[in-house]
Structure 1
Amino acid sequence: MRLLYLWILDYRKIKQQGFSFSSDLNFTITPKPNDNGYWFDIDITLNEDYQDIFEGASISVTGIVGKNGSGKSTLMHCIKMLYGRLPRLTCPLIFSFLDPESKVVSTYFYQKGGVEEMMALPVTLKTTNQASGKYKFENPRPYNINRMADDHGRVNGLNFEFKNMACGYVTNSFERHPESIYHGIQNYSTTFLLDKYLNKQVTKLENKAIQKPAKIDKKILLYHSHLTDFYNEELQSNVRFLAAPANAVLIHKLNLPEKMTISFNFDDYDYLIDNDGQHSLYFNNAGLAAFHKKATNQLYVDLDKKRAFVDILYLCAFYHSIRHNILKDENFKGRDAVKDALKDLVENAEEVFPEIRKFMDGLQIKQDDEQVEIVHQILGKKLQNALDKATMIDDNLYLKDLQSFVFKIDYNLLGLIFNVFQLKHTEDIIFLNYSWGYDGLSAGEEAQLNFFSRLHEIKRAVKDKPLMLLIDEGELYFHPQWQKFFLTWLLDCVKIMFAKNQVQIILTTHSPFIVSDLPKQNLVFLRKDDSGNCGLPSDEIQTETLGANIHELFTNSFFLQDGLMGEHAREYIQGLIKEIKKTRKITREKYHKVYKNKVNLIGEQFLKTKILELVASKADFNLIDEIIESRSTELDMLKSIRNQKKNDQN
């Protein structure tokens, strides 16, 4: 089912406004007053200029364009409510859906069952012969709401169920909209994902407090720790996307990372050195420093990378355990004098890593000791089994730095990643880090990876259901060069990832590059009206957008007003012109001291020439001679080019 038309009575700043998401059908709605409120006539005609540019019925794309505050996000929110929580929507709607297989168009209007303020919207439908020859139009059906049924209410009167379709929402922006109210859709906005994660953590802490009220941990989890764990959940999504064999062509085309570097840091060791005597240490700084030097030297003796990975893992866990006072008698089974054994290990061990492993493997898990459990998980068999399966890459980076290990991104890496980053860190310092490739990703590259990873998560959730895919400013963080490719990348992704789905895409954008990738028939133009509400432009957008020159799009007043120049530059140049006009006389010395550099900053050559002409009108003889000489040089250069072209022709 594909959404063709949506008329909204009153939703936030959208008042009695209709929006068409069909390229080949035109919808016109006319409200007519009657004794009970209004009656609505809908006229549907065929767009005679329609041309499908998306290769068949399985994909459709509509772009929503408008300035900030024009209502793009509000329209998106209403569509999310339509698909996910229609019984809870306190705004009456009229909407039309198309079944692409049967070519049947069904129109629905609100009748009753909502809150008292909701007005019934009875509808009559009129179509032309051309439209009826291409599609079958059913008589409009009323829908009724039962707000008390089930947890989220129920809608009666539809000849389909929204649960048999899917709606996904993706945006990389972090905003204040309460995304948690949009149930029933696959919400992969940054705001929703972070809220969902933090709510899960709060619930865990509440349950823990209820189960063990006498043993509430007085330490407050640092916010940085929560963000780190949330970031690690995003990482798992990234790896799932990158490791899926079906995505290989897309990943190569997007130049996404094919390698991951997992690295270790010695922050816990540095902390111990910097805080000598402030923790339960069993040795002094000098002894610990000598031990650390011996351990790191032994890392380089055996260049077996996976063995080195395990060795350094144990070493970092060892320092972590000392720092958090885990290595004490009650955490070891059948062992006394842990303090003496630890002191002997640090001061006398010749083969450091076998001794560390033997010592750390003696740790006993206690259910009420989160720190011991974390260390035990890090050193457990699951992680080491996952490491055995993962593909480590032999390269120069490893040879230079044994604290960094490069892995091929594939399904074998998933096990390692899930074991490493499923841990919830209770301090703001962790000793395992990762980066993509060798040098990591820029903010734009990471936004690109997150965007397509979230699409992959939506696919995993919706399976083969028909999908409404809502994308709010998906090009956010992208350089203009990437904005040029955004729609192509998106369509490639949909064809690969959602090959078995019917997909309707509605996206909002500020990018003229995306606008130029869509014909006008696939665009909804929004404008804020005089009362501050969302409206459609009263005058038809004359510009044909598909393949339009970006500069020509910008010159259209809908996209940009007051020219193509930045406002700060415009004010600077206007100020310079006013300053020159107020000056009675400009000497050569004054021009060089005050004006020359200011004029030379201007990049628009025609504007610069006009300002020089203004300067010349105020100039003395010496300055005019200099201007003439500089212009003569330009003329000589043009003459030289002309003569060269003439010689080439001969």
Structure 2
Amino acid sequence: MELVYLWVEEYKNIKRQGFNFSPKFRCEFKPEYEKDENGDEFLKDDCELIIEENKDYLSIFPENINITAIVGENGSGKSTILDIVTNMNRNLSKLIIYYNGKELIVKNSYLDNFSINYLRIGVTQLKELNENNLSLRDSLFKNYQKYFFVNKEKKLDSYWYDFINISYLESDKNTQIIINLLKNRKIRLPFNTPKYFTISLKDTDYFDKIIESKIERDESFNISFIENNFFNLDYEIKENKLKRVKFYLIIANIFTYNEDLNNSFASIFFSNNSPQSIDDIIDMFLLYLSPSDKEDINFIVNSLENSFESNKYFNEFTIKIEKLDKNFINRYRRLISSKDNYFSKENNIFDFRFDTNLSDGEFEFLLIFSRIYEKIENKDSIILIDEGEKSLHPNWQKKYIYFLVQFFEKNYQNKIQLLLTTHSSFILSDIPKESIIFLEKDEKTGNCINATEKMEDFNTFGANIHTLLSHGFFMKNGLMGEFAKSKIERIKRFYEIVKKSENEIQNNTSAKKAWIDYFLRRKDKYYYIQSIIGEPFLQKVIKNYLDELEKVFDKENYKQKKLKKLVEEFGEDTVRKFLDND
């Protein structure tokens, strides 16, 4: 199943706009409106829907993959289109066309009296799918799934897709998802991946300070008694890593869940049976834990003891990723997460790392791949990724499309349609213009404008980044920074004013003196700005401007500079002979 076309009546800043998502077809919905007695417009019954099949279309992507990019400035409507595609608003008036390989399926969510005259297109037929016809919808889409991936906070309410928020900050949660991907050695990834996973136990001093700070919050607590009866066991904790893990897991869990923590400490240390060993303390604290928490603690400790290899010299445990239990980190996370599932970084006793030092780019690609692996089943899928390259270094943005194509081609046989919003010219250089939707924002209304037709002569595929960036669509006010632009523009404006008023300046002695003073005060700075311009052609243009200005306001110095340049180029004797003959 493939999304072909979307027409939107009105949603946020998108008003009466259509968008083509598949180069296989060219669709255009031509709405006609009437006004009711109140002057409100409504859609007429018989509107024209034009669908042209592109029989010459050839895809550069693998047979089971189709990619469409949506590009435009912030606020132009890129993310809004993805919102609509996910059906987040069932009452939204829209027209959506899908293609299942044999026939085009039109989903019409307009009023019941709206109708379209469908025509047979070659061997491809059209079938109307009314939004209320659930049985037909379910039969057509039972093997079709949608996923919406974003890397920013977003609240959506949808009924027919899976929404996944990729947060690069939840490192522990992301680590578990990545591990689940890496455990499957059949999955082929486009770069070298880690083979081992290491858990580091934080220093005792770090956690001891947390314990002390927690206890000291209650002024009635006898801290000296605690120090004498509790922290004198510190040596035993340091010497036995597994006991230390178990003890700190218990404490972390109590800190997270038990609001009456000080009473727990008091009941243990002020009881008649005050603990004499770390084992006594562990047994007593276990009384305050739920059965599920006890089970999780025992699971973690037993895993470290039986499955991990302990480092003799450091407080570390290492395991081959494929042998790591897929729920290890999730159970640890649950153990020190609050009732509302908030992960307590303060009570975190572990640091996680892979044997390979992953760059930020590799980690983010692994995160995207692992999220996809976690969610996608063996069904045709439409995957929406909202600015997935946003936090990637340009060197990784260059590989974004290549890596995505490699991942899907090597690991999935079902049909995949990727809808990407992007600001990156690196990504657009990997996508043909036929697969790009160009959006503009109306400067007066702020409404979305589909500018794709205006870009027909703009070939993106294989274009160099400078060409893409310098195109007016992406940089309406030029490519350079505003500060540099302002400095260069000042020289250009001064030159233009002088050339326009040159005759008046030359004929007015007092005005000419003021102009000369103005130029001479700024001449050195102007020439310096010209000398450091990085674009050769622009640098030469500004040099010509300044030479022209110097000829007007500092003629003698201009002559001397020209003479010096001729001497350097041709030699003093040659120049002298030339001048003598002249």
Quickly name the TM-score band, shorter chain normalised.
Answer: 0.7 to 0.9
- What is the aligned counterpart of 2:272 among 337, 341, 344? 337
Mapped to 2, the partners of 1:627 and 1:407 lie a distance apart of 75
Letter in structure 2 aligned against 1:504: Q
Say if 1:141 and 1:157, in contact at 8 Å, map to a contact too: no
1:467-507 deviation line (CA, Å, top 9, x unaligned) = 1111111111011111111111111222244x242222211
Aligned to 1:569: 484
- What is the aligned counterpart of 1:607 among 538, 558, 570? 538
Deviates more, 1:311-320 or 1:484-493: 311-320
Mapped to 2, the partners of 1:90 and 1:428 lie a distance apart of 42
1:618-645 deviation line (CA, Å, top 9, x unaligned) = 6697798789879998999xxxxxxxxx
1:258-305 deviation line (CA, Å, top 9, x unaligned) = 53443324433124567896544354768977754x458x64xxxxxx
Say if 2:201 and 2:245, in contact at 8 Å, map to a contact too: no
State the Cα distance separating 1:439 from its structure 2 match.
9.2
Aligned to 2:466: 551
Mapped to 1, the partners of 2:248 and 2:4 lie a distance apart of 58
Pair 1:283–1:577, CA change in 2 (3 A): farther
Letter in structure 2 aligned against 1:123: I
Structure 1 segment 410-449 matched on structure 2, within 5 A: 410-425=322-337, 429-437=346-354, 444-449=361-366
Say if 2:91 and 2:109, in contact at 8 Å, map to a contact too: no
Aligned to 1:242: 182
1:3-57 deviation line (CA, Å, top 9, x unaligned) = 222222222222222222221222233335689724222222232542111232x
Aligned to 1:514: 427
1:525 matched to 2:438? The reply is yes
Mapped to 2, the partners of 1:65 and 1:170 lie a distance apart of 17
Pair 1:391–1:635, CA change in 2 (3 A): farther
1:205-227 deviation line (CA, Å, top 9, x unaligned) = xxxxxxxxxxxxxxxxxxxxxx9
Mapped to 2, the partners of 1:628 and 1:320 lie a distance apart of 82
1:516-563 deviation line (CA, Å, top 9, x unaligned) = 111122122222235332222253431122212222223332222232
Say if 2:92 and 2:109, in contact at 8 Å, map to a contact too: no
Pair 1:311–1:521, CA change in 2 (3 A): same
3-state secondary structure, aligned to 1:422: helix
Structure 1 segment 474-493 matched on structure 2, within 5 A: 474-493=388-407
State the Cα distance separating 1:168 from its structure 2 match.
0.6
Pair 1:271–1:78, CA change in 2 (3 A): closer
Aligned to 1:106: 105
1:562-616 deviation line (CA, Å, top 9, x unaligned) = 3221223212332466689897359999877x56765554322343344445555
- What is the aligned counterpart of 1:360 among 282, 285, 292? 282
Mapped to 2, the partners of 1:171 and 1:493 lie a distance apart of 18
Mapped to 2, the partners of 1:318 and 1:635 lie a distance apart of 87
Aligned to 1:89: 90
- What is the aligned counterpart of 2:456 among 515, 535, 541? 541
Residue-pair matches, total: 527
Letter in structure 2 aligned against 1:96: I
* Long gaps (5+) in structure 2: 36-42, 256-260, 339-343, 499-513, 572-582
1:295-318 deviation line (CA, Å, top 9, x unaligned) = 58x64xxxxxxxx54143145458
Mapped to 1, the partners of 2:568 and 2:185 lie a distance apart of 62
Aligned to 1:182: 158
Structure 1 segment 126-165 matched on structure 2, within 5 A: 126=119, 132=122, 135-138=123-126, 140-141=127-128, 143-145=130-132, 155=134, 158=137, 160-165=139-144
Say if 1:328 and 1:338, in contact at 8 Å, map to a contact too: no
Pair 1:124–1:584, CA change in 2 (3 A): same
Say if 1:268 and 1:429, in contact at 8 Å, map to a contact too: no
Mapped to 1, the partners of 2:423 and 2:569 lie a distance apart of 40
Aligned to 1:222: none
Pair 1:32–1:336, CA change in 2 (3 A): closer
- What is the aligned counterpart of 2:147 among 156, 165, 168? 168
Pair 1:391–1:588, CA change in 2 (3 A): farther
Letter in structure 2 aligned against 1:167: K
Pair 1:561–1:466, CA change in 2 (3 A): same
Aligned to 1:452: 369
Mapped to 2, the partners of 1:331 and 1:634 lie a distance apart of 94
Letter in structure 2 aligned against 1:63: A
Provide the TM-score with structure 2 as the length reference: 0.76
Aligned to 1:584: 516
Aligned to 2:341: none
Mapped to 1, the partners of 2:490 and 2:429 lie a distance apart of 35
Say if 2:336 and 2:348, in contact at 8 Å, map to a contact too: no
Aligned to 1:19: 19
3-state secondary structure, aligned to 2:4: strand
Structure 1 segment 106-505 matched on structure 2, within 5 A: 106-110=105-109, 112=111, 120-126=113-119, 132=122, 135-138=123-126, 140-141=127-128, 143-145=130-132, 155=134, 158=137, 160-175=139-154, 178-179=155-156, 181-190=157-166, 232-247=172-187, 249-250=188-189, 253=191, 255=193, 258-265=196-203, 266-271=205-210, 278=219, 279-281=221-223, 283=225, 292=234, 294-295=235-236, 299=239, 309-314=241-246, 316-317=248-249, 324-325=261-262, 328=265, 337-339=272-274, 341=275, 345=276, 355-366=277-288, 376=294, 380-392=297-309, 399=313, 402-425=314-337, 429-437=346-354, 444-459=361-376, 463-497=377-411, 499-505=412-418
Say if 1:7 and 1:19, in contact at 8 Å, map to a contact too: yes
Mapped to 2, the partners of 1:633 and 1:41 lie a distance apart of 74
Pair 1:319–1:536, CA change in 2 (3 A): closer
Pair 1:289–1:60, CA change in 2 (3 A): same
3-state secondary structure, aligned to 2:23: coil
3-state secondary structure, aligned to 1:51: coil
3-state secondary structure, aligned to 1:531: coil
Mapped to 1, the partners of 2:555 and 2:404 lie a distance apart of 61
Mapped to 2, the partners of 1:449 and 1:601 lie a distance apart of 42
Mapped to 2, the partners of 1:634 and 1:311 lie a distance apart of 83
3-state secondary structure, aligned to 1:160: helix
Mapped to 2, the partners of 1:188 and 1:276 lie a distance apart of 40
1:189-216 deviation line (CA, Å, top 9, x unaligned) = 248xx9xxxxxxxxxxxxxxxxxxxxxx
1:368-401 deviation line (CA, Å, top 9, x unaligned) = x67x985x456x431223224544486xxx74xx
